[in-house]
Amino acid sequence: MNFDKYASKGNRILNEIASEFGPPENSDLSARLLRSTLHTLRERLTVEESFHLLAQLPFVLKAMYVDGWKYNNKPERIKTIKDFVRKVIHEDRPVAHHDIQTAKDGENAVKAVLKILQKHVSQGEFEDILLTIPGDLHPLFGKEPVKS
């Protein structure tokens, strides 16, 4: 097993996120945003959908996704972008408030992470995710909101 290959892939993903959100040299911020977004997403998904996503994540992100996971059979009731972003910031406590100054900054950070994740996971998997989350969260994935 070549762990350098996996580390290299992880670093490429962090660099992609940093370039999308900026500043490009801040891989620590990118890693924290990625971890917090993955954790918030997994709390919103069903266990079954989490396993489907987990199966497609690049190897290095799988560990990040499951770190500290105490799964629940019922997804957390995160219904709005504001709630999702608030949860991402809470996941990155106590430092997120230094990096994310406004709600719009938080939304842009989450959008950047999800945009890059969509490059590394099948379109079909993200379509399945969109079917399981409230339509108001769809803009975070670069899609039009869908009213329930």
Please report which helix (H) or strand (E) contains residue 104, including its range: helix 103-120
Distance CA 52, CA 8 (A): 24
Q: Which two tokens stand for residue 60?
A: 């290095």
Distance CA 110, CA 92 (A): 12
Distance CA 30, CA 36 (A): 10
Average pLDDT over residues 75-85: 93
- Strand intervals (E) in the chain: none
The hierarchical CATH code for the domain 3-141 is 1.10.490.110
19-77 pLDDT tens trace = 988 766 778 888 999 999 999 999 999 999 999 999 999 888 999 999 999 988 888 89
Distance CA 89, CA 54 (A): 22
Distance CA 129, CA 145 (A): 14
Q: What per-residue confidence (pLDDT) applies to 11? A: 87
Distance CA 132, CA 74 (A): 12
Q: Given the structure tokens 């996996």, which residue do they identify?
A: 6
- Tell me the average pLDDT of the chain: 89
Q: Given the structure tokens 């957390």, which residue do they identify?
A: 76
